[in-house]
Amino acid sequence: MDRLGGELPMDRYEPPQDLAASESAYSRYRELVDDWAGFCAALEQPLLPCIRVNTGRISRQDLIALLHEEGFDPQPVPWHAEALTVGGGFRPGCHWGFIAGLFQPQEAASMLPAALLDPRPGERALDLCAAPGNKTAQIADALGNRGTVVANDAKRGRHGALSQTLKRLGVVNVAQTVRDGQGMPWEVGTFDRVLVDAPCSCEGTFRKNALAAEATPEPFRERLSRLQQRLLHRGLEMTRAGGTLVYATCTFAPEENEAVVAAALERFGGAVELLPARVPGLHLEPGLEAWGGQRFGPALARCGRLWPHHNDTGGFFVAVFRRLEPGRGQADPEPVAADPDAQSRLAVFRDAFGVPESVLAGLTAFYEGRKYTRIVASDQRPPRAAIREGAGLPAVRAESRWPKPATAAALALGPHARRQVLEVDAAEAAAFMRRRAVVPGPERRPEGPEGGYVLVRYRGYPIGVGEQRRGAIQSLFPKAWGPKGSERLYGLEPAGEGPA
């Protein structure tokens, strides 16, 4: 999470020639680190690209094979079953598999909080500080794309990135809210799992951005600490008895980590307890029991500190709470009610594209606005419409001559289509993602009416929707999803090849 919701610059910081011998924002932690020279050497090295596999669409082993074929060097992250680091010049955001929702770029360290949260199918989860959505999608995947995830962020402008992530990945069990997390309404209900990935001073992101190297002024850190405490307290109140809350930051500062956790333990007393924050195969140092003359107590050793030099990652802090007594949240809302007209429009996937009824079962269609019908997991219990910003995925455009599938729903349901499908090669896929027409021969052209719609797939994976026009398939790929200008589409276009 960034500093109080502000955007972080993504240009890499150029460290001093000898960081270990220099004074920097990190010098205050010299006595905490077991290997100061190794810590500084790790900070001076850029991270390899890391991705989380969208297991609802492709297995990790199949993605490894696919990337190997394309000349990249994917390596499993030993402690996380869905994560890969990828060498060989890989640029995740420019690869066709990212656009098709096969994976999400996500630094390995940032996968730790949701891994410790350990959400299970059928549960209700809250991501209190959710944008840009990487951890939200990780939680939704762990729930099997069913149940309920409420993704909240205080800044409306940050929800665009969150929405795009959910649409590409085909997530139907998430509802979004725009609320100050310190005052999240009690009407959203209670939760089995709550993630508080709090705004922080971001010192652990040094290997990705420049801002992390700047010293944090003490008044600003005090302000952060007060905000973090209020977010954590609200999250704990919304956790059911027996539920789990993970508090996380990407900073090394004890004032934002152990001090915040200790304040929560003091406030909630016997209503909560700390669980060991440990993951098999990952080196996590214990939390601090004291710092700067302040004693936090032996329980804080159950927290986890992720130092960059131990696992070749960024830095993170995590604490795992169990709620022992009921909190203050109200009864859970009811599931979204199906709209008969919206549900009937969803039938286009069955009737026109041959998607089996069994695949559509468990999805509820409704209107949120009149432009598109939307689909959610039928067991989702989102906040009521007056509180939420949106729920589920756009599915079918409401007003068009032929029912037009939304790209998000085409990517989610298209693997199961048996009719009106065009399988394309690499050159055609690149053209399609650049919004150019594809002209298949008569033997490949799908049957269907002029002006009707076609699901387009590459290597069996849906990449969007096309429209039949005079023997060609006109690309309806969203402008916002495709490559910009002369950006190369990795995995589809040879080096040096760009738009015509």
Binding-site residue positions for S-adenosyl-L-methionine: 129-135, 153, 180, 197
- Active-site hit among 50, 200, 202, 250: 250
d(CA 385, CA 339): 14
Pairing between β-strand 316-323 and β-strand 239-249 as defined by DSSP bridges: antiparallel
Cα–Cα distances (Å) from 192 to 18, 172, 206, 388, in that order, read: 47, 19, 33, 19
Query: Three-state DSSP class for 184?
Result: coil
d(CA 474, CA 17): 54
Burial of 351 (0-12, 13-18, 19+ CB in 10 A): exposed
Token pair 């539920």 is found at 243
Is 250 labeled as catalytic in the residue annotation?
yes
The rounded radius of gyration (Å) of the Cα atoms in the chain is: 24
Closest alpha carbon to 466 in 478, 449, 453 = 453
Handedness of CA 252, 255, 260, 265 (dihedral sign): positive
Cα 168 to chain center, whole Å?
11
Helix axes 159-169, 134-142, angle to 10 degrees: 40
Q: Is there a contact between 128 and 149 (Cβ–Cβ < 8 Å)? A: no
Query: Three-state DSSP class for 90?
Result: coil
Residues of the chain by 3-state class (helix, strand, coil), percent to 5: 30, 25, 45
Token pair 């098999």 is found at 280
State the Cα angle at 211 between 24 and 131, rounded to 5°.
140
Residue 169 is which amino acid?
L
Annotated binding site: 129-135, 153, 180, 197
Q: Is there a contact between 102 and 58 (Cβ–Cβ < 8 Å)? A: yes
Catalytic amino acids?
Answer: 250
